[in-house]
Amino acid sequence: MDLISLISAYRDILIVIAATLAILFYIAYANWDAVKLWWKGVKYHNFLFGKLRGLSKNPDVKDRWFHSEAAVCQDYNELYNKIHKDGNYYEACKKYLSIVGESGRRPLSAFMLIGLFAVLVLEAWGFSYTMSGFIDLSASENTRVVMTWIVAIAFAVILAFLTHLMGHEIYRNSILGRIRNNWKADHPDTRPKTLDAIEFDFDIEDFSDDNKPNYMRRLFRLDVDSPKEKRTFTIAAVIAILTIGAIITFVRIKTLEVAQTQDVMCIAGESAVSGAGAMSLDDLYSDTPPPPQAAQQAAADARERGESEICQATKEGSWATFGMLAILFLVLQAFATWISYKFGFVGKHSKTAWESTHKYKTKNQYEMAMDSIANNIAQRAQKTLSELQSRMAKKLSGETMNSSVDVLINTSAGRTFLDYVEHESDQSLASRNRRARTTLDREKEHSSIMTQATATEHSVAEQSVAEAVTAGPLSDEELERQLLAEAQAESDAEIERQLLEEARRQKPETPEEQKARILAKLQAEGKL
């Protein structure tokens, strides 16, 4: 049994399996965080290949924690940090969407995507059935139906992919066009010289561009590598749609010609011969005299005219149908492009911001929901950690010569998942403070170097002026060069001073950061 026959025989079963898998996939995708949390539990607690069995045998110690304990806590902490957000994150997401200009947008849902794909498949099925007859001229009707569905799905996938990219590209170009128009309308003295300087990809909460123009803040948040408008996918999609439409119409015309060629009424001269020149056996042996030749010719002419009119009407009606189907094909592609234009995001983190805010109308609702989910994750993590600590106490007690291992086993109740989260948060904060202080020290060093250079330039300029006064009056060109050099030196020093003050204003050290810095310093010195 070949593949086509197998698919035809089990077609209904395959459709049910595909539909079931699609539904399960959508449910898993819509609740992916819950699926990941469930899988972590399976990964650690199953009795066949549970990870706790191997982790409980590891006596290695890391920063007053067992390495195994840290591994379990870090695994759950990745999901915990993603969920455990406060109200400030909710407001930052709202602000992010507002700056990008996508506050009222939403992604293309799975139901809309499936519905649009189904419409494209049904639309492609019509011309695929016509084309399947030319793929294999000797194919049976069942084989022809299977090939029709395969070709229709292939066409639907290609068209859906191209129209989606075209709609998304048109939407992105519209935003880039508004940014460029706002940049051109800005004052030439205050606007950036170019739009090509796109800053680093910050997280939602890490942007520090409040002093930038609104159009530049929007540009920084777009998922683009260049502010130039691109029409690659638009051109490719239009060419593909027109080409497919032309080929479909051509195949339909050839199908009509084949049908009319096989129809006896539409063969030129065939009706006249069968009507005027042919004589049946009944006419030969009949006693009734045949009608006059003129009457026979008139009847044949009338029948030929009727058959010719039927063939012509069939041809004209087919042409009109082909034109209507071509218009319908183009309208469906335009509709698919419009759907892709109206839905989806072009911001780098717009989808994440939308997912974090669209279910909650207020900040309090968001905080309550996130706390509930985070507590559930913390409880699951603590359950896994407690089971690990129990297993380690059974397997490692008295089996090692390291006293620190026994101490950690006896004090395991004091190490919880939330303690680990707090420890990691303090370490991250201390690391950020060290990086900020290093950056500030470099800025101070650079500022002192620039100040010394400026003082040197001033002294050189004063010495030059003194020498010039001693030597005699300067020419206009020489005096102009000296004044420009002095003005440039003063301008550089002023700009450097402003940048340093702005950096200090943007990075004030809070009491918590000061506490974390002193704590890290004492730990590094071995005093704690």
Spatial separation of the C-alpha atoms in residues 443 and 425, rounded to whole Å: 27
In a domain, 307, yes or no: yes
Q: Looking at the structure, tell me whether residues 339 and 437 fall in a common domain.
A: no
Q: Looking at the structure, tell me whether residues 332 and 440 fall in a common domain.
A: no
Are 114 and 156 in contact by the 8 Å Cβ rule? The answer is no
Outline where 31-140 has alpha helix (H): 32-45, 51-55, 67-83, 87-100, 110-135
In a domain, 327, yes or no: yes
Does position 295 have pLDDT exceeding 80, yes or no? no
Q: What is the mean pLDDT of residues 212-228?
A: 87
Q: Which residues of 120-141 are buried (b: 16+ CB within 10 A; e: fewer)?
A: bbebbbebbbebbeeeeeeeee
Q: Looking at the structure, tell me whether residues 161 and 267 fall in a common domain.
A: yes
Q: Looking at the structure, tell me whether residues 167 and 306 fall in a common domain.
A: yes
Q: Assign 3-state DSSP to the chain and report helix, strand, coil percentages, each to 5.
A: 75, 0, 20
Among 399, 411, 352, 342, which Cα is nearest to 66's?
411
Looking at residue 62, the DSSP 8-state letter turns out to be E
Does position 145 have pLDDT exceeding 50, yes or no? yes
Q: What is the largest CA-CA distance in the chain?
A: 149
Choosing from 310, 328, 343, the residue where a domain stops is 343
Given pLDDT bands bounded at 50, 70 and 90, which one contains residue 282? low
Spatial separation of the C-alpha atoms in residues 199 and 209, rounded to whole Å: 10
In a domain, 501, yes or no: yes
**CA 377 vs CA 372, 384, 398, 495: distances in Å:** 9, 11, 33, 50
Determine which of 90-94, 115-119, 434-438 has the lowest per-residue pLDDT on average.
Answer: 434-438
Q: Looking at the structure, tell me whether residues 339 and 432 fall in a common domain.
A: no
Q: Looking at the structure, tell me whether residues 425 and 337 fall in a common domain.
A: no
Q: What is the mean pLDDT of residues 372-386?
A: 92
Spatial separation of the C-alpha atoms in residues 380 and 77, rounded to whole Å: 11
Domain count, the chain: 2
Choosing from 320, 343, 366, the residue where a domain stops is 343
Give the model confidence (pLDDT) of 299-313 as tens digits: 665 555 555 667 777
Higher pLDDT, 200 or 281: 200
What pLDDT score does 167 carry? Answer: 94
DSSP codes, 281-341: HHHHS-SSPPPPHHHHHHHHHHHHHHHHHHHHHHHHHHHHHHHHHHHHHHHHHHHHHHHHH
Q: Looking at the structure, tell me whether residues 318 and 423 fall in a common domain.
A: no
Instruction: Give the whole-number percent of the chain exceeding pLDDT 70.
Output: 68
What pLDDT score does 497 carry? Answer: 63
Given pLDDT bands bounded at 50, 70 and 90, which one contains residue 49? confident
Give me the domain span that covers residue 269.
108-185+231-280+291-343
Q: Looking at the structure, tell me whether residues 328 and 428 fall in a common domain.
A: no
Given pLDDT bands bounded at 50, 70 and 90, which one contains residue 431? low
Looking at residue 189, the DSSP 8-state letter turns out to be T
In a domain, 409, yes or no: no
Q: Looking at the structure, tell me whether residues 151 and 249 fall in a common domain.
A: yes
Are 79 and 375 in contact by the 8 Å Cβ rule? The answer is no
Give the model confidence (pLDDT) of 151-165 as tens digits: 888 888 888 899 999
| Crossing angle of helices 141-185 and 293-342, rounded to 10° | 50
Given pLDDT bands bounded at 50, 70 and 90, which one contains residue 275? very low
Does position 92 have pLDDT exceeding 80, yes or no? yes
In a domain, 395, yes or no: no
Are 432 and 85 in contact by the 8 Å Cβ rule? The answer is no
When mean pLDDT is compared over 322-336, 437-451, 473-487, the highest value belongs to 322-336
Q: What is the mean pLDDT of residues 178-182?
A: 92
Spatial separation of the C-alpha atoms in residues 465 and 49, rounded to whole Å: 85
Q: Looking at the structure, tell me whether residues 330 and 429 fall in a common domain.
A: no
What the block records as the tokens of 446 is 């650079």
Q: Looking at the structure, tell me whether residues 337 and 243 fall in a common domain.
A: yes
Does position 470 have pLDDT exceeding 60, yes or no? no
Cβ-based neighbour number of residue 148 at 10 Å: 21
When mean pLDDT is compared over 108-117, 368-377, 426-435, 470-479, the highest value belongs to 368-377
Given pLDDT bands bounded at 50, 70 and 90, which one contains residue 452? low
In a domain, 481, yes or no: yes
**CA 179 vs CA 48, 189, 220, 344, 364: distances in Å:** 58, 18, 11, 19, 34
What pLDDT score does 461 carry? Answer: 52
What pLDDT score does 343 carry? Answer: 93
Q: What is the mean pLDDT of residues 251-280?
A: 60
Q: What is the mean pLDDT of residues 371-398?
A: 89
What pLDDT score does 271 carry? Answer: 46
In a domain, 129, yes or no: yes
Among 158, 159, 467, which Cα is nearest to 334's?
159
Q: Looking at the structure, tell me whether residues 432 and 526 fall in a common domain.
A: yes
What pLDDT score does 329 carry? Answer: 86
152, exposed or middle or buried, with CB in 10 Å at 0-12, 13-18, 19+? buried
Determine which of 126-135, 246-255, 301-310, 509-518 has the lowest per-residue pLDDT on average.
Answer: 301-310
What pLDDT score does 28 carry? Answer: 84
Q: What is the mean pLDDT of residues 90-108?
A: 90
What pLDDT score does 276 carry? Answer: 45
Does position 177 have pLDDT exceeding 80, yes or no? yes
Instruction: Give the whole-number percent of the chain exceeding pLDDT 90.
Output: 19
When mean pLDDT is compared over 209-218, 432-441, 500-509, the highest value belongs to 209-218
Choosing from 302, 328, 343, the residue where a domain stops is 343
Higher pLDDT, 433 or 112: 112
What pLDDT score does 11 carry? Answer: 72
Does position 321 have pLDDT exceeding 70, yes or no? yes
Give the model confidence (pLDDT) of 52-78 as tens digits: 988 888 888 877 888 899 999 999 998
What pLDDT score does 277 carry? Answer: 47
In a domain, 358, yes or no: no
Q: What is the mean pLDDT of residues 20-39?
A: 86
Does position 447 have pLDDT exceeding 90, yes or no? no
